[in-house]
A and B are shown apart, each in its own frame.
Chain A
Amino acid sequence: MKKLSAFLKHSYLGLVLLFMYAPIFILILFSFTDSRTMSKWQGWSFGAYEKLFAERAVWVAVQNSITIAIIAAVVATIMGTFAAIGIHSMKKRNRMLVENVTQLPMVNPDLVTGISFMLLFTAIGFTSGYLRMLIAHITFNLPYVIFSVMPRLRQSSNRLYEAAMDLGCTPMIALTKVVIPDIMPGIISGFILAFTLSIDDFVISWFAADGVPNISIYVYSIARRGIPSHINALSALMFVVVATLLVIVNLRSIKQEKEAEVQARKLRSK
């Protein structure tokens, strides 16, 4: 009994991690073998990667995904931040109302959002697939940006804005020099959220874009005939890129925390 509990104690976290990461490791593993189906291991090979880099259609999709994610995240972050500042300065009852209305699309099923975009674009005769996808992405990102910026605004004191004006800022300069830097962590997490959601999206893009592929649409369309090995390679690469970014971000914040601690200790010892 004791042994069992000790075993569980030490292995529980390991099991959870294994559970979470096993599929991805299998995927990465199978990206290094060249087989038409994923069921059989056929020895080490970079064939999948060679095929991946030779396949032009993949890179069109990747380019679409990345440019749309960046543009949509930037535009949604700017629009959402100003919207949040506006909502924050409203009187209480209006603020609650508008805030709830802006949060509603987050719980709306993607399918509904996607189909309504399709109908809207068709109805007004807007045909550019790329722009359709971009506009759809900006729109579904907006509530998430507002959602990440609002709590930060609530924490921030109105006195900061007043202090800036007191020291000679016009309202606009007070906003850019004091209010926005103060809520920057919220803006950044809103941007990251928007970027991730956008690069991930399949359902809304599928209905809104009318034939222009992003990564997920491309993978879905060719996966219907069995998953070719270069898709494994693409997925593995995407995972590595995202994981690397995550590690860099985390290392940076750890470093900043350490610096702050060192400074604080210096201060105390004085």
Chain B
Amino acid sequence: MESNHLIELENITKEYSGDKALDNINLYIRNGEFLTLLGPSGCGKTTMLRIIAGFTMPSEGKVYMDDKEVTHVPPYKRRVNTVFQKYALFMHLNVFDNVAFGLKLKKMSKKEITNRVENILELVNLKGYEKRWVEQLSGGQQQRVAIARALVNDPEVLLLDEPLSALDKKLRKGMQVELKRMQQAVGITFIYVTHDQEEALTMSDTIVVMNEGKIQQIGTPADIYNEPKNQFVAQFIGESNIIEGIMLQDYMVSFKGNVYECVDKGFERNELVDLVIRPEDVDIVPLGSAPLSGVITNVIFMGVHYAITVNCNEFSLMVHTTDLVPVGEHVSVQILPDAIHVMKKPKEVSEFEIVMDEEKE
């Protein structure tokens, strides 16, 4: 084991009465990184967090922290603290006592406790709120108390379970930036659970995309966005056009009757593949100036851009562009080599892909 692996999960499986919430998970988490577990609800991301926190025991596998096995160590003996989804603040205590809760259990001197609580409240911008009752605070403020209550204990790892899901959109954006700032200020590892891909892309150093109890892909936000490993990741992160194609040879792929240059290689000759084309990588050009043509069937104004559907015989392409093109116009669509990302076809057909195929038809 390398020394900067703070946490390692080894062959973790968790079953609930026959259902596998987690299926043979292997993952290491580096010291000081901001790692996000991303996936739809029911994908096992919260179960994974609870196993790291010690609230849930895995059915199989081992958890290591600092190279020591902690699989069956109870939560109160782990140097991990959690920020819960609905905060789980202690309503019978005021802000100061909520934050000081963990320190008092450690039998610290009163002066030290006051010092540390003051410092951490300053970090989360809640100075002067010490005497307030929790129920008198707004959602965003309660959120900060929950973060302060966890961070004040100097954990090696902070676990955050969808902490922003109860806030409104604007507040959420602000808190994303602040969380990142806090993480950099204290320099500890954050493990963050969310189903919101935008949140994950904004804050993370590493994203772990999960579905149906399995890890789909691990990578930096840019990796995950630009080089999705499979259909699920491509669909879940951002919007994408997924098109079936044939890899003719290295750097050359054909789909829907046309041959395109691309930047991918290493596939078998004439291998059946999936192509991801991000809507923002496609350009609408005058009719005839590119091989692929179609008619515009739908235009939706999204604020910054228009989401335009181009129907090119048999299949539709989603295009994001800042130029308005009216519905009904015949246009061509330009797809440059680096706009095409080639993925291997999945070996086994899972339920998810069947649903996807139906949607395409």
Contact = CB atoms under 8 A, between A and B. Distances in A.
B136 A260 contact: yes
Interface string B35-57: 00000000000000000011100
A258 to B, nearest CB: 14
B240 interface: no
Contacts of B217: none
A159 B82 CA distance: 10
B136 A166 contact: no
Interface stretch (A122-130, A168-176, A221-229, A232-240): A168-176
Given A165-B76, A181-B92, 13 more contacts: A157-B86, A157-B88, A159-B86, A160-B90, A163-B82, A163-B84, A166-B76, A168-B106, A168-B153, A170-B76, A182-B91, A260-B133, A267-B136
Contact of A182 (B76, B92, B153): B92
User: Which one of A160, A162, A181, A260 has the highest number of Cβ atoms from chain B below 10 Å of its Cβ?
Assistant: A162
Contacts of B139: none
B155 to A, nearest CB: 9
A9 B214 CA distance: 68
B105 A167 contact: yes
A177 B98 CA distance: 12
Contact of A181 (B53, B75, B81, B90): B90
A162 B136 contact: no
Contact of B74 (A165, A167, A181, A260): A165
Contacts of B149: 167
Interface in B82-113: 82, 84-86, 88-92, 101-102, 105-106
B235 to A, nearest CB: 32
Given A163-B84, A166-B75, A167-B102, A263 B92 contact: no
Contacts of B133: 260, 263
Interface of B: 53-55, 74-76, 80-82, 84-86, 88-92, 101-102, 105-106, 132-133, 135-137, 149-150, 153
B153 A162 contact: no
Contacts of A166: 53, 55, 75-76, 80-82, 150
A167 B106 CA distance: 10
Contact of B88 (A159, A168, A169): A159
A155 to B, nearest CB: 11
Interface string A145-170: 00000000000010110111111111
Nearest to A178: B90
Contacts of A241: none
Nearest to A180: B92
A167 B104 CA distance: 10
A166 B82 CA distance: 7
Given A263-B133, A263-B136, A169 B82 contact: no
A162 B75 contact: yes
A244 to B, nearest CB: 28
Nearest to A266: B136
Nearest to A181: B92
Contacts of B88: 157, 159-160, 162-163
| A-B pairs with lowest CB-CB distance, top 8 | A167-B102, A159-B88, A163-B88, A181-B92, A168-B105, A165-B75, A166-B82, A165-B76
Contacts of A15: none
Contacts of A260: 133, 135-136
A107 B55 CA distance: 39
A254 B81 CA distance: 38
Nearest to B102: A167
Contacts of B84: 159, 162-163
B92 A167 contact: no
A17 interface: no
Contacts of B53: 162, 166
Interface string A61-91: 0000000000000000000000000000000
B133 to A, nearest CB: 7
A264 B80 CA distance: 34
B193 to A, nearest CB: 14
